[in-house]
Amino acid sequence: FAVRNADADHAIQVLNQEFAAELKSGTLSEIVAEPNLATVAIVGENMKHTGGIAGKLFNVLGRNGISVIACAQGASETNISFVIEHDDLRKALNVIHDSFFLSDTQVLNLFVVGTGNVGRHLLSQIHAQQENLLENKALRLRIVGIANSRKCIFDREGIDIDQTDYLLENSTIDATPENLKKEIIGMNIFNSVFVDCTASPKIAELYYDLLSHNINVVAANKIAASGDYEGYRRMKRVARKKDVKFLFETNVGAGLPIINTINNLINSGDRILRIEAVLSGTLNYIFNVLSPEIPMSRAIEMACEAGYAEPDPRIDLSGRDVMRKLVILAREAGYPTSQDDVECRLFLPESCFEGSIDDFFTKVKELDGMFEKMRAQAEKDGEHFRFAAVLDHGKVSVGLRTVDSAHPFYHLEGSNNVILLTTERYNEYPMVIKGYGAGAEVTAAGVFSDIIGIANIR
């Protein structure tokens, strides 16, 4: 039974007196009070003879991390009462109201971290689509937290996207990982989604704690899914246990549905035997523009100018990014792979990756003649250069190769990506996924798609 917090000690005292004999003999267990609880009841005649109400109630509470301490339902079927922690009261009322009384409208509360190219495009796309999603899909996307590299802002009532720059500039909360975790978990808001548009290892380290507190995670950041294998499995397990989503489709192929396709194949009983892919839009662009007029050094500069390459292009040219992507695909395909397992065949000498960026371009210019000879020979043989990633029955490798006109990689234009999936079902003729694989706008669109996927709308 329930009493006010103020009456709890007195209640324990009189009960101990009244049942002293039973307590002494062990007939009655120790009488204790659990403080700071709240009782919630959903009441209504429409609950009568309507199956699934209790199931829906406890399911939605569980998905949002709200533990039910006690519950009761009368024989009249017009009342379900339950006891929860008082700290969860606001969240419980909001989620019940959203699920039962605003059932025509679903709300997702978003925390967006990173307002660079991808984050900025994502906020713009959310802003442009809000009215359409509300009207046609009954989905309301509410931004309740935003952080850049310096400051963060939070408002459970929603943040005006048009005011983001001003609000961040005037915020007093530093965007440290500790502050982000404290504010997001402390807000204890229902249907929450953490969206990581950074490339920060420190931000990726927050995922496990957030998932453990029933917060969905959508990541454009590759670090968590390609890092320590046990850490990756740990996040997958806690997401399943807490019935929340850990989605990172844009880790490979920007907005292309690669990871989702692999998951669907495996979940339907298929098995991935081989993956062959061009996964670097940057490297594909470089080798596509290479010509007698455009040497390797200039092609790299053009990739930087076009925004395909990182400010330090050696990050792309080292093949490290492709290795991460291949590890993610191998793991999603069911192979326990780490980056140390990947054989990497570099096409630039190790010395190019030492020193400053200016040193790098000086060294690459000295190699222009060699690359032109290689390009000319490939053209004579009717072949194109491609930096390919391969998973073959668990063995993983990346490196430069040539392909002829019969190969699906041959006609790959610009910064596009392509992936060939050979499975037990798609064996003689592999499945091909092809399209834009780089760029902030398409990456943001892929992140947006993951967010929509959490809502399970059609």
Residues designated as active site: 325
Q: What whole-number distance in Å separates Cα of residue 37 and Cα of residue 85?
A: 5
Dihedral of CA 91/92/98/99: which sign?
positive
> Rounded CA gap, 109 and 142, in Å?
5
Return the exposure string of 95-122: e unless at least 16 CB atoms fall within 10 Å of the residue's CB, then b: bbebbeeeeeebbbbbbbbbbeebbbbb
Task: Dig out the tokens for 182 from the structure.
Answer: 């404290």
Q: What's the CA gap between 420 and 388, in Å, rounded? A: 11
Cα 269 from Cα 450, distance rounded (Å): 23
Q: How many CA atoms lie within 13 A of 316 on its CB side?
A: 24
CA distances from 286 to 299, 386, 388 (A): 5, 10, 14
Among 458, 439, 437, smallest CA distance to 120 is for: 439
